[in-house]
Structure 1
């Protein structure tokens, strides 16, 4: 059972003071968070790609590469790379370089992304949303398989027996598929035999179990061994010494972000009752003391089949020292408890 962190490197206004941290400062803070995550024994750290004023990381590979020489073991991944509006050749080259700098610890999490700002920014039409992703994923996988590539598609100039460099340390460079729970994307990942990441940020996480089964059936149908395909989850969360403290610290920024997005997307108002319901045992918020969070992760593994849990922290803007403490508690207290219980449980199966 792997446990790690994801961040979108938010620079939203502080919910208490209204102050906005600079992009530069938040980027430097995230490097410190990655280094700490490695030091406390976490398995993976993911950085999301965005192209908005309230997010600082437009290129996850650059930020991860800044931390790579200061870390030893932790895997470094995008979360996600918005592949539809990017060039697969550049994505492959960037993460091959990250793989070299980190000596084989880079991963790509490819997805459509939940925001659309990158499409007009890079000159793509939203009507081609799905077609772009399918075509570019095909090319990315070809680049991972072969040093020289011949490929033709509808949205990018053809490649005729050209070498793409540098080559990664890992062969092949790992590519995961990020999904918000769309059945079609889950089936695609299974048919391709690619690891799957589910964004479980609402509802009841156990409701994702049927999707994992669909994924595994698709993989088996295509001739892949489902038992060898990892399944990850990405969920919002926060840890403090007590559950009450964790909830009180995490709510203000969570409410602010959820209501900003809610106004953009037509969601209802997010209040404390919504927050408290989501952090219940069956809810999608992993907020509490180490025991509470560990039990929820164990429940997720046993009932949904998740083999990698990634906690998204912070959500919005929180004091850096609070985020660092949450990472420390996840690595030093939560992760060992989860791994021990899962090892015991698997031995009994």
Structure 2
């Protein structure tokens, strides 16, 4: 790892901030230093691109203009506003933290990174971003951009897939960060990492900090940052039951913990649970045999008598961080007066469905059903 002298650090700060002052992106959450605006934007930007976030951010602020508005918002309204961004636990944590600020802090924000991390859903990066941008605390905001930029600038060989590596980068950036303009410094690193110093096809030849980019100067830029590959997500097979009667669709409410907590979906049945009903070795149960066992599973677990028919085509897939769901869609029928006493859901009509937020995987299931069976409009 390269270590800069104080003179090099000063030169880098001047070069970086001069470029930022001239070329910084015009983003709606950068038009002031309000911690609420910084916070919401940073949470939205997790796992989501800037161009996608901007219209969501503007709509969100129109509906919840203050942290107090967010704290008191009905959850259904919040989820609907978040619909399409995915990772819904982010929205729930936003509201939990908003309530902490209102109820525990009297509406006043903690003004240090350490204090901000006591709020729900705020980790080291988000705390650093808010503290530096809104409160001018000279603390680093170490995200993927910062890892990539500083790994290349200083040829840092530590594996960024390891949790302990964050401390290495935090120590390095804490020495380099501008004490006078820490928020602008952190935002300039974000912009640098999303423009000239991207993961693939960087344009360091024209980068404002080209002279400081040691990995580029040595011709090994794409070797940084060092990162071991994540294991492939584990595939989990499901059957999804599309059950409709007229204007009504039979939906289940997911448990209050785990993936898709509290969301409504089609009944989703793990194929492994269905196969377990067979006396044969699971590896020997064919797809046809497993499908034939679905009504038996539904009867045993939901108390419902159903007939099922596969819609054909490829399964619907959706990847979470460590799981990849592979959902075989089935149309199913039940009696009009079926007893739902043991069913973890209810009939929802089209008006109810139009006002509810659904997870991305359920949106995919709706779209597939409409494509294959136009009468299934949910």
Instruction: Please give the range of the TM-score, normalised by the shorter of the 2 chains.
Output: under 0.3
Give TM-score scaled by structure 1 length: 0.23
Specify which structure has the bigger relative contact order, considering alpha-carbon pairs within 8 angstroms and separated by 6 or more residues. Answer: 1
Task: Decide which structure has the larger Cα Rg and report it.
Answer: 2
